[in-house]
Every structure is written in structure tokens, then in C-alpha cells.
């Protein structure tokens, strides 16, 4: 009965609803939920394209997840407090210990993580790349150079590597002198800084990630997604479910998250 109550609870039934159904107190229902075991579906190992990312809950803690879009299944997840290279390495090792081979991986572009997957094709998520540019340039850049660079970024999904590289190179040639403009530090006259640092950072991000932005086009036989949307969608669904059970202790909330991620 404990597992039945747990399954009902995960299907949007509240503590109050379950207490009324079983004619018991809310405290009794909560006790049954505490005793329940999380379960996960079994799947057969095979070479798979993996999407990996981390989602946080109010920055207090988060879950790193490795998902196989083809199977619509999370192969690995773990509670984390920080998104680090080590956590991605542990995820990779855990999947390999299960007998899976990774044929390609889609990442959010976190520095250093790509180095863990040098033996397989790596795709940089287009959505995360656009988010990075938006953070540097805002949604409505004022400078003409910023407007043009944002337009180039927005064309990611509509173009190929050669065309995108040509646009980015021409942009850099056009604005090269503008990007080199410097200004003296008013507090330390002997020091200076670049005037358009955020614009320079936006360009650097695109230029650095360029070799990984069109991987999905180079390996059509693998059907590599160009975004981590399959994970982002499940993250949104996960957070909506958790919101239904407001006021829960964090231990119960984490248990619910693990149950959802494991199914």
C-alpha cells in the first residue's frame, strides 16, 4: 500500500486528498510517503546520443541529469550544490558503468566540460548560446555592432557552419577597430580598459564555441539535437509538479524529484 500511496502522490494527489481517501490523518499519509522507495524503469544499454545539463531550485541545490532523448529516459541524475566539471565526469562514468556507450553529447557550453568528451561529437546547445549572447548584449542592444552580432546569433538555426563563419568573420573585420577602443581608468590614469568589453566577450563566446555549434549537421546519421530542449522541457514539467506540493520539507521534495527523474 505504501508504494500505491507514493504513486498517487506523484500523480498530483495532495496529502489532504489521500488522508480523506484512506480515512487517516495527514501525518499518517506523510509517514507512508517517507517510507516509500523511489523506483525507475529498466532499459537496455546501447550507444546513445546524450543530453546533459543541471537545473537548480532557488540556487539552494540542483540536479545534474544525463538524458537519452531517443529513449525519453534519464540515464543518470544526482543531487548537486554546484555545477562542476567533476559532476559531469561522475555522470559520464556512471553511465559507462551501466554498460552504455555515448555516441554524441549535447552540452550547455560550460568551460572544461567538453574536454571530458573528446572521443565523441559534442554539440553546443543553441538555446544556451543565445542566452549567453543575451546576457552580454541584453535583449535590445543599443550599439549598431551589438545589434548586428545579435542578428547573426539569431540566425544559428537557419544557417550552416560555412555561412555562419563567413558572417561572424565579416562582422569582426568590420568592427575590429571599434572593438580595440580603449579608455583610461579615471582612478588609475596609468591603467586602461577596453570600452566595449561586453561586446568583445559576446564575440569571443561565439568564436570559441563555433567548432561545436554545427556538430548536429556533420553527423546526420546520429540525429543529434541542436539544443538541450528535451531536458529543459522535463525540467519545467518537474518544477511544475513540485510546486503543487508547497510547504514540503526539503527531504520529501528531493524524494519527489528523484522519483520523477527516475521515471
At 210 the pLDDT is 96
Residue 47: the pLDDT is: 82
- Give the pLDDT score at 42: 46
CA-to-CA separations, 85 to 21, 99, 114, 219, 233, in angstroms, rounded: 47, 22, 9, 26, 23
> Is domain 46-121+219-263 given the CATH code 3.10.580.10 in the classification?
no
* Tens digit of each residue's pLDDT (9 = 90 or more) over 92-127: 999 999 999 999 999 998 889 999 999 999 999 999
Quick: pLDDT tens for 153-202: 999 999 999 999 999 999 999 999 999 999 887 777 778 889 999 999 99
Answering whether pTM is above 0.85, one says no
pLDDT tens for each residue of 10-30: 555 676 776 777 777 867 766
- For the chain, the straight-line distance linking the first and the last C-alpha, in angstroms and rounded, comes to 19
pLDDT at residue 240 above 50? yes
**CA dist., res. 75 & res. 171, Å (int):** 41
Average pLDDT score over residue span 56-79: 90
Dihedral pair phi/psi, residue 193, rounded to 5°? -145, 160
In angstroms, the CA 32 to CA 44 distance is: 32
DSSP category for residue 223: T
| Residues listed for the chain | 263
**With 60 as the cut, is the pLDDT of residue 43 above it?**
no
pLDDT-derived band at 37 (thresholds 50, 70, 90) equals: low
Amino acid at each position: 500500500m505504501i508504494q500505491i500511496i507514493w504513486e498517487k502522490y506523484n500523480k498530483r494527489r495532495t496529502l489532504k486528498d489521500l488522508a480523506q481517501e484512506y480515512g487517516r490523518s495527514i501525518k499518517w499519509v506523510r509517514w507512508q510517503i517517507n517510507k516509500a522507495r523511489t523506483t525507475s524503469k529498466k532499459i537496455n544499454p546501447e550507444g546513445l546520443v546524450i543530453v546533459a545539463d543541471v537545473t537548480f531550485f532557488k540556487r539552494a541545490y540542483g540536479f545534474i541529469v544525463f538524458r537519452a532523448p531517443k529513449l525519453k529516459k534519464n540515464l543518470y541524475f544526482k543531487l548537486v550544490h554546484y555545477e562542476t566539471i567533476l559532476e559531469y565526469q561522475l555522470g559520464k562514468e556512471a553511465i559507462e558503468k551501466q554498460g552504455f556507450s555515448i555516441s554524441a553529447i549535447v552540452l550547455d557550453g560550460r568551460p572544461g566540460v567538453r574536454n571530458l568528451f573528446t572521443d565523441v561529437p559534442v554539440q553546443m546547445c543553441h538555446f544556451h548560446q543565445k542566452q549567453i549572447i543575451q546576457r552580454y548584449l541584453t535583449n535590445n542592444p543599443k550599439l549598431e555592432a551589438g545589434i548586428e552580432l545579435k542578428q547573426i546569433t539569431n540566425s544559428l538555426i537557419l544557417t550552416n557552419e560555412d555561412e555562419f563563419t563567413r558572417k561572424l568573420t565579416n562582422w569582426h573585420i568590420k568592427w575590429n577597430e571599434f572593438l580595440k577602443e580603449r579608455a583610461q581608468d579615471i582612478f588609475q590614469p596609468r591603467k586602461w580598459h577596453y570600452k566595449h568589453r561586453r561586446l568583445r566577450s559576446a564575440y569571443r563566446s561565439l568564436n570559441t564555441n563555433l567548432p561545436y555549434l554545427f556538430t548536429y549537421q556533420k553527423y546526420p546519421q546520429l540525429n543529434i539535437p541542436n539544443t538541450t530542449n528535451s531536458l529543459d522541457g522535463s525540467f519545467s514539467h518537474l518544477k511544475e509538479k513540485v510546486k503543487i506540493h508547497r510547504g514540503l520539507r526539503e527531504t520529501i521534495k528531493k524524494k519527489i524529484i528523484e522519483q520523477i527523474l527516475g521515471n
